[in-house]
Structure 1
Amino acid sequence: MHFKWTSLAVIAAAALAGIDTVEASPAGFVSCMQNIKGSPTSKLVISSSNTYNTERFGFNLIFDYKPVAIYHPATAADAASAIKCAAANNINVAPRSGGHSFEGYCEGGKDGALVMDLSLMQQFSLDPTTGIASIGAGSKLGPLYAKLWNAGQYLIAAGTCPSVGIGGHTLGGGLGMVGRKYGMASDNVVGMTFVDPKGNILTVNASTNKDLFWALRGGGAGSYGLVTEFQIQAHKAPPQVTTMLLNFPISKYSEVIDAYAELGQQAPDELMAEMNVGKSGLQVQVNYLGPKTDAEAAVSNFLARTGGTKDQTVKEGTWYDAATQWGWLEGGTLENPIAGDNRYARGRSLVYRKPMSKKEKDILKKYLTKPPKGTSASYIIVDIWGGKVNKPNAPSAFDNHRGVLYGIEFISEWGDHLSKPGVKCSECLSWSQNFAKEMQKAYSSGPTLEAYQNYIERDMPNSMNAYYGSSLPRLIEIKKAVDPNNVFSYAQSIPLKSPQTLLVTPTSTLYPTDRLGALLEFDYKPAAIIHPGSVADAAAAIQCAAYWNVPVAPRSGGHSYEGYSEGGQDGALVIDLNLLQQFDLDSKTGVATVGAGMRIGPLYANLWQAGQYLIPAGTCPTVGVGGQALGGGLGFLSRRYGILVHSIVGLTMIDATGNIRRVSASSDRDLFWALRGAGGGSFGLVTEFQFRVYKAPPKVTTLTIRFARNTYKSVLASLATWARVLSRDLTAITYMDRNTIDVKINFLGSKEQALMAAQPILRLRNSTGPPVSLGDLDIAEGSWYDAATHWSGHPLEDPDVNAGRSYIKGRSLVYRQSLTDREMEIIDQFVTSPPNVITYAFFELWGGNCDRPTHVAPSAFDNHHGVLFGIQYVSGWSDPNLTPGVTCAQCLEWSNRTAQALDAAYGAGPAHLEAYQNYIDRDLPNALHVYYGKGLPRLKRIKREVDPRNVFRFPQSIPLSRESGQHCGQ
């Protein structure tokens, strides 16, 4: 069958598309609604109703949406009937509990929606034996707090604003003034009554509709259906609660901002704080669940760091007193908050896992001290997180935010007279937009933006990932199962497919650069490049490729030595995984879930920020975790923690038929064996890993020992001995070029311990040249993060991907015994003789736990058990224009001559050549046997079972044939 890329594009577009567009029928919908025979208390408001032009608004009056109707159901059954009417007439449903959506999504976020106003659903009861409260989804926080107090002095974990509805607040997370003690509001939900898009009334809890229970708690605001009632765990209020207002002048901005971050890191769980910063000053609001003396002790370090303040108010009272104070009721009560809550405003947010950088703090101050013309108030609110927020009792869709230090709201308000909707302040909006762009550009808390979904922002870049992170793929799958017709839909609801998925074809303006990998000597022209934003989209793309017999080439970082990440030939479908960078870490099990498109640098940064963890991967920060882990993954930690492949405890893989498989030692055992060591692009597409991770030691030391160039034989002859006798906490790479021979050491411990462990290397250095003193050594002691940054030569969080692009021919061999004189001379000649060729070699120590630890399941990498060191020898060239396809005949000729000589001189004999598959070489004789050894027959059998049509193929992929390395492509 002849293939055309246009065919692939058409089928891919169809496979990746959402539902068909059907024209809405407002008239039919209204007729349907008017025929509902339900509770007489339920109320329908349509455009001709007297109250329509007041009821259609939420709290933020800059929005002027015109819903097709507003319906106030009094019962879940009436709500179900209304949802059926909406679904039958293609009308989107917008739940409204309190109407506080930052983007007006409670009113639909557009014209023509059905607003399902839950204000009639304010039922309440509390079981004193369990402390579980049943709460109508239309309850406002103020009256709810009063009911809880009157029921026996109970409280729940929720926010401070008394007019906010419990519904959206809880489904999107729900941070409040007792969050550090009891968690988010969503963490305290134990059950829900839920109306699905078909009108079915469901019970949702940890044992019934478990997927929905997970999704609704953190990702459920208006995306899946209508929650009409919550069962929430309430807590007995403590006898005393202390509130504090600590006011500081703007001149103390830096001291207060820095001390506040420390407060968030060190405060007891009983303390919650919110800081407001505006033009003239800073106010820190403290809520402490305990007596005044304990509260004052808890903030003593904070006050000492700031120099203290005389402008403070401290009150000890009840929880009800505190809730009243933080509600800023202006004369009202919790039972009846009378303060006008409507406003014209623009709100945004970001959350931070570590204190802001100086640049970020400077940006904040620049904008806050120069508010826009026309504003009535422009400010930020900084809420500390931590405590129980980071330690939930059960998993939920909010788990991607565990580990946040604090969150920031950026707010600009205008207009004192709320006379009409849609009033805009252009200066305020520009100020807010510019403020947000600068803060987003300077974001230092992680490799991608992270923000709180309850402060939703339509302009947030890559917003689905910012709000839902690693939870997004599962949220999408649940959305497709629960609401396949997208009845509950708005501009930023959970989509039916990833909104990010990008298909790049040869006619696209992105194609000339997107088709390239890290090595520019290759100029392959793929049929298309797809960047899937979800596992489902990747599966659909594979099905398209299989149908048209197009080879599939996974690309994680694009660093294949032979360009196999781009197919290794023209006409492949490149599946670029750069959008699959989800990350989560379970500190209880020490297992990290990592998207296969994440690069090593950002992975190290995420692990460090999650609690100073590490993983034994490589040093180059732009390399993708996918190919490196599947082919082995050697690095500066491997002698202690093993090869990266040894850390894999589970994978998610899409096979050649588009099936999504969970692969582990107990499920798909053969495939689990094969993928770990031979899985790079031969069996399917791995989209996610579960890695065992390790707590970083307190100190890590880096050390470089330079030898005289003419002593290279002494150094190289010692490699095998070093691999056997050196501490497993010491890993070394020896670098050799025309002028230099350096031994680069990473040691898991202090400087003193490192010098002791490196004595065999130092003794050799001092015996072959003038002795070196401690002051002459390039040595540094710091954290593992410092060491990883040192070896990478780039920022870990956001390495420059383009900086690694180059022209090279790399080859490798691994050794189980010392090099012979002849081998050392060949290597010396390789790096010294060609006058116009860039050449160098790396010698990497193996040994230690590079041999599979006993607790790790067998893998396809086990044929390398017993290797002592490996050599990677590279020739390179350059082109000032970085033109794809530029080659260097002299460089390649020199590399080929060296390879022939080294192969012939191989100490174990040419028939026993062994090489490391991650440094793959198209020209290596009998390559598959050299890379996979005795494991190759089993790999071929698994290949025939998993990918019998050879969809995942490239010139050196695992073949289907039993006898040879020839491919049987269709």
Structure 2
Amino acid sequence: MTTTPMDRRSVLARSAALAGGATAAAAGLTTAAAGPAEAAPVTAGKPPSGAGALIGPHDPRYPLLTTGNNQRYVAAPEYVKMIRSTADAEKALRTAHRAGKRISVRSGGHCFADLVCNPEVEVILDFSEMTGVGYDPSRRAFYVEPGARLLNVYEALYKGWGVTIPGGICYSVGAGGHISGGGYGLLSRAHGLVVDHLYAVEVVTVDKRGTVRTTVATRDRNDPNRDLWWAHTGGGGGNFGLITRYWFRSPDARGSRPEDQLISPPSKVLVQAVDLPWADLDEAKFRRLLKNFGAWHENNSAPDSPYRHLSSLFNVSSRAHGSLGMFTQVDATVPGARRLLDDYFAAVTAGTGLTARPMTKANGEIPHLTDLAEPREMPWLNATRMVGTNNPTITDPMSRAAHKSGYMRKNFSDHQISALYRYMTRPDFTNPDTMLVLFSFGGRVNAVAPDATANAQRDCVFKMTFQTFWPDERDDAFHLDWIRGLYADFFAETRGVPVIGGRTDGCYINYCDNDMADPAHNRSGVPWHTLYYKGNYPRLQQVKKRWDPGNFFRHALSVEPPRR
């Protein structure tokens, strides 16, 4: 999906009366399937009206809507159907199913693989115009529509009610896919995954007879449709039906006031952004630095750790970039916040001789932040905007990219660090927009049982994304060979992938990678679905059997119905 510009003049409403002004990304829509309301939902923005456009090959918008954030993947569908409501989604699904069309589903367009845009797709159903965010008193929960971009969700929830969800950094990711795959970000160590706060989901499904219906499934124990809710707590997008709305209420929420139903972010955070220049590193210092990072997270990722209020994003960039980059955020309202931050940086750099240098240029997800080598306190939402919006590598509309992932239960092995150093310093590799991103994990994420949600990785300490970006199609083979070579070497001890075991714990479905289903790259004998879902996959298959028995919703890494 492509990125739409944000309008910072959006004004939020706190009553049933709609506030003026807004962008498409702050628009609201009351769903007909929400049940009898005690009061009208409070909505951000102005609702779109009518059915969404039908965009064919001769429409000037067609080239824009047949690719996404990664320009490697382009589709040639018969049409793109823009969806504006649940009723619109029902009609679009009924039409495509009756015609026997192969569909794909898009909310934000950040899909890392070709699950949305590929040559087999005949119809793309695009939810980027369903962008409502608001409060539904009938459910005592906040709703988010699938096309809402993450930063707009944060803006609406926080300005309207002082609450948030612990979601991701990149501002333009769509809520639809981010949530269904689990969803996490800088607040997850303190508050868990996004889906740990998911109360309900509205899904449009189709059975074998072609009957289209809309179901609201909740986490309530007596809900006969609870399995459909569970499948959307990490089961991935495009698997079971069309998601038209999510509702959020934290499991420990009490009372009836909206502001008590969901977590509140810190009023202020302490942030630091530093460069660690390659010129100051040799292989021994590089090894020590990475070992320090892994050891710190092994020792400080328990659910009750005082460091759960601290989260760090560490870009181990290629030597061609010039430096490694680290962004760290800690809740400034907790006692000793500055000490927590200083102790973390000291632990990671111990024995290396490295000092905090200003971040002089953007580094992957981390923007150009020259004034934060010395930690600075700022309002949480300002920090979220700062990190999320000014990030030219991730949001470059010319970008071609490759991504791979892994969860880590323990520190790096010596072999893994040697492989990483060798590939990141290879003399023939001159692409500066390349990095292994290390994300702090654990904390309250690990307080949830592996089968309580579909997201099964619940005892990890950090997670990783291997990624490289380039602009020219002629360089595809070189960059794919490079990243595949690095990944295979990094996980050579487990035959090319992060198998479920003592050190590694599989992959993250939101960082989908078709290579995991290819025995040429996954030589472990472990099925791709075990890497992503572990022991939860058979249960996901049963949900698939019930809600999509005809396997109409499918892609290269979709949940498959059980064979019997």
TM-score range, shorter chain: 0.7 to 0.9
Give the CA deviation at 1:514: 1.4
Give the CA deviation at 1:772: 5.6
1:647 to 173, 197, 201: 197
- Matching of residue 754 in structure 1 with residue 320 in structure 2: no
Give the CA deviation at 1:928: 1.3
- Tell me what 1:944 maps to: 545
Q: Secondary structure at the match of 1:592?
A: strand
- Tell me what 1:659 maps to: 213
Give the CA deviation at 1:705: 4.0
Structural mapping, 1:448-527, within 5 Å: 448=24, 469-471=28-30, 473-474=31-32, 498-527=49-78
Consecutive unaligned residues of structure 1, counting only runs of 5 or more, are: 1-350, 355-385, 392-398, 408-442, 451-464, 479-493, 880-884, 964-970
Q: Secondary structure at the match of 1:610?
A: helix
Are 1:820 and 1:907, in contact at CA under 8 Å, matched by a contact in 2? no
- CA, structure 1 residues 352+582, in 2 after alignment: closer, same or farther (shift >3 Å)? closer
- Matching of residue 695 in structure 1 with residue 264 in structure 2: yes
Are 1:904 and 1:910, in contact at CA under 8 Å, matched by a contact in 2? no
- Matching of residue 832 in structure 1 with residue 425 in structure 2: yes
Deviation string, structure 1 residues 573-628 (Cα, Å, up to 9, x no partner): 21111111111136998732111110111111112220332211101001101101
Give the CA deviation at 1:571: 2.9
Distance 2:467 2:94 in 1: 38
- Tell me what 2:373 maps to: 777
Q: Secondary structure at the match of 1:565?
A: coil
Distance 1:655 1:640 in 2: 35
- Tell me what 2:259 maps to: none
- Tell me what 1:49 maps to: none
- CA, structure 1 residues 781+802, in 2 after alignment: closer, same or farther (shift >3 Å)? closer
Give RMSD over aligned pairs.
3.4
Give the CA deviation at 1:543: 1.3
1:890 to 478, 485, 505: 478
- CA, structure 1 residues 717+751, in 2 after alignment: closer, same or farther (shift >3 Å)? same
Are 1:683 and 1:943, in contact at CA under 8 Å, matched by a contact in 2? yes
- Tell me what 2:384 maps to: 788
- Tell me what 1:608 maps to: 158
Are 2:101 and 2:122, in contact at CA under 8 Å, matched by a contact in 1? yes
Consecutive unaligned residues of structure 2, counting only runs of 5 or more, are: 1-8, 37-45, 250-261, 301-305, 359-370, 517-521
Give the CA deviation at 1:778: 3.9
Q: Secondary structure at the match of 1:613?
A: coil
Give the CA deviation at 1:766: 5.4
Give the CA deviation at 1:704: 2.2
Are 1:684 and 1:952, in contact at CA under 8 Å, matched by a contact in 2? yes
Letter in 1 for 2:444: N
Structural mapping, 1:216-231, within 5 Å: none
> How much identity, in percent, do the aligned residues show?
23
- Tell me what 2:535 maps to: 934
- CA, structure 1 residues 773+860, in 2 after alignment: closer, same or farther (shift >3 Å)? closer
Structural mapping, 1:49-198, within 5 Å: none
Q: TM-score, normalised by structure 1?
A: 0.47
- CA, structure 1 residues 800+761, in 2 after alignment: closer, same or farther (shift >3 Å)? closer
Give the CA deviation at 1:664: 0.8
Q: Secondary structure at the match of 1:943?
A: helix
- Tell me what 1:736 maps to: 316
- CA, structure 1 residues 531+501, in 2 after alignment: closer, same or farther (shift >3 Å)? same
Distance 1:663 1:644 in 2: 17
- Tell me what 1:904 maps to: 492
- Matching of residue 727 in structure 1 with residue 307 in structure 2: yes
Give the CA deviation at 1:951: 0.9
Deviation string, structure 1 residues 262-304 (Cα, Å, up to 9, x no partner): xxxxxxxxxxxxxxxxxxxxxxxxxxxxxxxxxxxxxxxxxxx
Deviation string, structure 1 residues 834-858 (Cα, Å, up to 9, x no partner): 424442110111110122547x991
**Which has the higher Rg, Structure 1 or Structure 2?**
1
Distance 2:10 2:150 in 1: 21
Deviation string, structure 1 residues 821-879 (Cα, Å, up to 9, x no partner): 1101112223221424442110111110122547x991110x20101111111122114
Q: Secondary structure at the match of 2:233?
A: helix
- CA, structure 1 residues 909+857, in 2 after alignment: closer, same or farther (shift >3 Å)? closer
- Matching of residue 843 in structure 1 with residue 454 in structure 2: no
- Matching of residue 704 in structure 1 with residue 273 in structure 2: yes
- CA, structure 1 residues 500+593, in 2 after alignment: closer, same or farther (shift >3 Å)? same
Deviation string, structure 1 residues 631-667 (Cα, Å, up to 9, x no partner): 1112111101111121211111101242100011133
- CA, structure 1 residues 561+603, in 2 after alignment: closer, same or farther (shift >3 Å)? same
Give the CA deviation at 1:751: 9.9
1:676 to 233, 239, 247: 233
Distance 1:504 1:914 in 2: 39
Give the CA deviation at 1:722: 2.5
Q: Secondary structure at the match of 2:468?
A: strand
- CA, structure 1 residues 857+888, in 2 after alignment: closer, same or farther (shift >3 Å)? closer
1:717 to 267, 271, 291: 291
Are 2:499 and 2:531, in contact at CA under 8 Å, matched by a contact in 1? no
Distance 1:671 1:542 in 2: 18
Q: Secondary structure at the match of 1:524?
A: coil
Are 1:732 and 1:743, in contact at CA under 8 Å, matched by a contact in 2? yes
Give the CA deviation at 1:754: 3.2
- CA, structure 1 residues 887+587, in 2 after alignment: closer, same or farther (shift >3 Å)? farther
Are 1:672 and 1:859, in contact at CA under 8 Å, matched by a contact in 2? no
Are 1:549 and 1:951, in contact at CA under 8 Å, matched by a contact in 2? no
Distance 1:638 1:776 in 2: 22
Give the CA deviation at 1:742: 2.7
Give the CA deviation at 1:776: 8.2
Q: Secondary structure at the match of 1:602?
A: helix
- CA, structure 1 residues 400+665, in 2 after alignment: closer, same or farther (shift >3 Å)? farther
Deviation string, structure 1 residues 328-365 (Cα, Å, up to 9, x no partner): xxxxxxxxxxxxxxxxxxxxxxx9747xxxxxxxxxxx
- Matching of residue 813 in structure 1 with residue 392 in structure 2: no
Are 1:810 and 1:873, in contact at CA under 8 Å, matched by a contact in 2? yes
Distance 2:276 2:474 in 1: 35
Deviation string, structure 1 residues 883-904 (Cα, Å, up to 9, x no partner): xx66511111111211221232
- Matching of residue 558 in structure 1 with residue 109 in structure 2: yes
Letter in 2 for 1:762: A
Distance 2:395 2:295 in 1: 38
- CA, structure 1 residues 852+681, in 2 after alignment: closer, same or farther (shift >3 Å)? farther
- Tell me what 1:584 maps to: 134
Q: Secondary structure at the match of 1:695?
A: coil
Distance 2:438 2:381 in 1: 24
- Tell me what 1:860 maps to: 454
1:768 to 352, 377, 396: 352
Give the CA deviation at 1:770: 5.7
Are 2:35 and 2:138, in contact at CA under 8 Å, matched by a contact in 1? no
- Tell me what 1:958 maps to: 559
- Tell me what 1:620 maps to: 170
Letter in 2 for 1:577: F
Letter in 2 for 1:637: L
Distance 1:828 1:594 in 2: 42
Distance 1:832 1:773 in 2: 21
Give the CA deviation at 1:547: 1.7
Are 2:182 and 2:233, in contact at CA under 8 Å, matched by a contact in 1? yes
Q: Secondary structure at the match of 1:813?
A: strand
Distance 1:546 1:902 in 2: 43
Structural mapping, 1:371-382, within 5 Å: none
* Alignment: residue pair count: 486
- Tell me what 2:255 maps to: none
- CA, structure 1 residues 938+764, in 2 after alignment: closer, same or farther (shift >3 Å)? closer
Q: TM-score, normalised by structure 2?
A: 0.78
